[in-house]
């Protein structure tokens, strides 16, 4: 018998895939802020193409006035939510060169938000 996934499954999978309470709370916060910025829920986000998601992430990270290290942590939380919530048919690969964010608004000066977790 095939059980149909509910809208809450993606978020349930994301939250329960994190063992550390501290990390779970931080990742939930970062992802919820990103989803509020995009005016989407996690299921709606996952229905977008990888390019659309990448564009939303880049716009969001550029809009934040925080350090590049903090942006990398936010990206890691969004990436984790996408990876554990997506079904195997929609799982995303996150090539590091594809997701770069300009530092301090200078277009030629990029840093790679994937860092060592790409």
In a domain, 9, yes or no: no
CA neighbor of 43 nearest in space, from 33, 51, 30, 53: 53
Phi then psi dihedrals of residue 52, to 5 deg:
-65, -40
In a domain, 14, yes or no: no
In a domain, 43, yes or no: yes
If one compares 93 and 117, the residue with the highest pLDDT of the two is 93
Domain extent at residue 68: 21-117
**What are the tens digits of pLDDT across the range 1-49?**
344 455 567 777 788 788 888 989 999 999 999 999 999 988 888 888 8
**What are the tens digits of pLDDT across the range 89-104?**
445 555 443 345 554 5
In a domain, 70, yes or no: yes
- Looking at residue 88, the DSSP 8-state letter turns out to be T
pTM for this model (two decimals): 0.69
Structural domain tally of the chain? 1
In a domain, 15, yes or no: no
- Tell me, rounded to whole angstroms, the distance of Cα 103 from its chain centroid: 19
Q: What is the 3-state secondary structure (H, E, C) of 14-39?
A: HHHCCCCHHHHHHHHHHHHHHHHHHC
In a domain, 90, yes or no: yes
In a domain, 13, yes or no: no
């Amino acid at each position: 018998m095939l059980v149909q996934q509910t809208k809450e499954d993606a978020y349930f999978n994301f939250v329960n895939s994190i063992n550390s309470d501290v990390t779970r709370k931080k990742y939930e916060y970062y992802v919820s802020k990103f989803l509020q910025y995009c005016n989407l829920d996690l299921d709606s986000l996952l229905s977008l193409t990888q390019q659309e998601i990448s564009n939303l992430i880049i716009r969001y990270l550029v809009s934040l006035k925080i350090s590049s290290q903090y942006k990398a942590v936010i990206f890691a939380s969004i990436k984790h939510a996408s990876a554990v919530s997506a079904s195997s048919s929609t799982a995303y690969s996150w090539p590091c060169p594809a997701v770069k964010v300009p530092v301090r608004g200078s277009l030629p000066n990029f840093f790679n938000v994937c860092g060592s977790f790409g």
